[in-house]
Amino acid sequence: MSEKTYRPGNYPDLPPPPGTVGVYGWIRQNLFSSISNSLLTIISVLLLYYLIDGIIGWFFLDAVFDADSKIACRKINDGACWAVITRRVGQFVYGFYPEAERWRIDITFLTMFVAFAPLLYPDIPKRKWLLYFSVFYPFFAFVLIMGGYFGLQKIEYSLFGGFMLTVILGVCGIVCSLPLGILLALGRQSNLTVVRTLSVCFIEFMRGVPLITLLFVASSMLNYFLPPGTNFSILVRVIIMFTFFSAAYIAEVIRGGIQAIPKGQYEAADALGMSYWQKTRFITLPQALKISIPGIVNTFIGLYKDTTLVVVIGLLDPLGIGRAALADTKWNGLSTETYLFVALFFFVSCFAMSRYSLWLENKLNTDKK
């Protein structure tokens, strides 16, 4: 090959040095760039190998999916005994809701996505019509789940349980706590001393005590504070406590958002002669809420996870169902399988929520353009 000559300024681009491109280059740069890095890679690979090997073996290959009891499971194979789940999957999902009426829960759950869609995805087609449904949905869900109207059989609260109870508690808590949280955040920033002091006391009290003590109050003491003879369902009391608790956290998140708004925004609003509520509605909240989305969703995820605490006051959420299953002598000792199953459910729903918040954050981020 003869050497070509080029005029100055007309040299062709040289290919990148070998070892920096392609699969090999990527591996070299990302996994083996230095001695310590290579060591870390080798340790990670070993860790992954043992983990995956153990997990696949225990979870699937050696697992038993149907048997009459733990002992029967162990006779078949020595992996996980998923029979404890498969035999009670109805309870894990619906609690003790009557089997013949479970279609009502299915419909409520499926239509929930339709009701939430226009709120969660602002670009959805026919949003206005869907929004009417969203407003109507709570009544629809209440009637369908509780029954007692339109010839539907009335179902007692005490039969609620399983993942259904988690979703009910979580969704009610989330929906109620956002408005209350916004009000508390505004109250904390208010010029009125009395309103501010009240908000601060409420927020600090709720944030300072563990949720479980509040649930104890809801289950055993709340009746003392109400007129003699009043009695309302433990489910409602628990939802109220969850709402108060997470509203206090949301208030703090939104306060952070309000404080992050540049002062010029308020001054401009004042200069335009806006009233307090106009300012709040058009200037403060749109900006503050946008900044605080990640924090708000994190609080929601926290609330959703905290619904498991109701097991301590005797409600039958998935953990309660799981513990009841484990108390059965047939399934005694299969705690790992039971709790991992419930954990998987929570992981999927919470992970979905956090992905949604990331998506929304990116969508609303106007800085990029």
Contact residues for another protein (CB under 8 A)? Answer: 30-31, 33, 37, 40-41, 43-45, 47-48, 191-195, 198, 204-205, 207-213, 216-217, 220-221, 223-228, 301, 305-306, 308-309, 311-312, 319, 323, 333-336, 339-340, 342-343, 346-347, 350-351, 354
Which helix (H) or strand (E) segment holds residue 159: the answer is none
- Smallest gap from Cβ 210 to another protein, in A, equals 4
Terminal Cα distance for the chain, rounded: 51
For residue 71, the SS3 value is helix
Q: Where are the alpha helices (DSSP H) in 272-334?
A: 276-279, 285-291, 293-306, 318-327
**Residue 136 or 276: which CB sits closer to another protein?**
276
Exposed/middle/buried for 76, CB within 10 Å: 0-12, 13-18, 19+? middle
- Smallest gap from Cβ 88 to another protein, in A, equals 17
**Residue 107 or 360: which CB sits closer to another protein?**
360
Provide the sign of the torsion angle of the four alpha carbons 16, 17, 21, 22, taken in this order. positive
- Smallest gap from Cβ 316 to another protein, in A, equals 14
- Smallest gap from Cβ 295 to another protein, in A, equals 11
**Residue 47 or 272: which CB sits closer to another protein?**
47
In this structure, are residues 280 and 246 in contact, taking their beta carbons and an 8 Å threshold?
Answer: no
Cα–Cα distance, 365 to 369 (Å, whole number): 9
- Smallest gap from Cβ 15 to another protein, in A, equals 24
- Smallest gap from Cβ 18 to another protein, in A, equals 20
**Residue 24 or 142: which CB sits closer to another protein?**
24
Cα–Cα distance, 340 to 346 (Å, whole number): 10
In this structure, are residues 284 and 276 in contact, taking their beta carbons and an 8 Å threshold?
Answer: no
- Smallest gap from Cβ 159 to another protein, in A, equals 23
In this structure, are residues 148 and 154 in contact, taking their beta carbons and an 8 Å threshold?
Answer: yes
**Residue 213 or 233: which CB sits closer to another protein?**
213
- Smallest gap from Cβ 233 to another protein, in A, equals 19
Cα–Cα distance, 318 to 322 (Å, whole number): 6
- Smallest gap from Cβ 110 to another protein, in A, equals 24
**Residue 203 or 247: which CB sits closer to another protein?**
203
Closest CA to 219 of 242, 247, 203, 201: 242
Cα–Cα distance, 130 to 314 (Å, whole number): 38
Which helix (H) or strand (E) segment holds residue 105: the answer is helix 102-120
Which DSSP string do the residues of 7-28 spell out, in sequence order?
-TT-PPPPPPPTTSSHHHHHHH
Which DSSP string do the residues of 325-359 spell out, in sequence order?
HHHSTTTTT-HHHHHHHHHHHHHHHHHHHHHHHHH
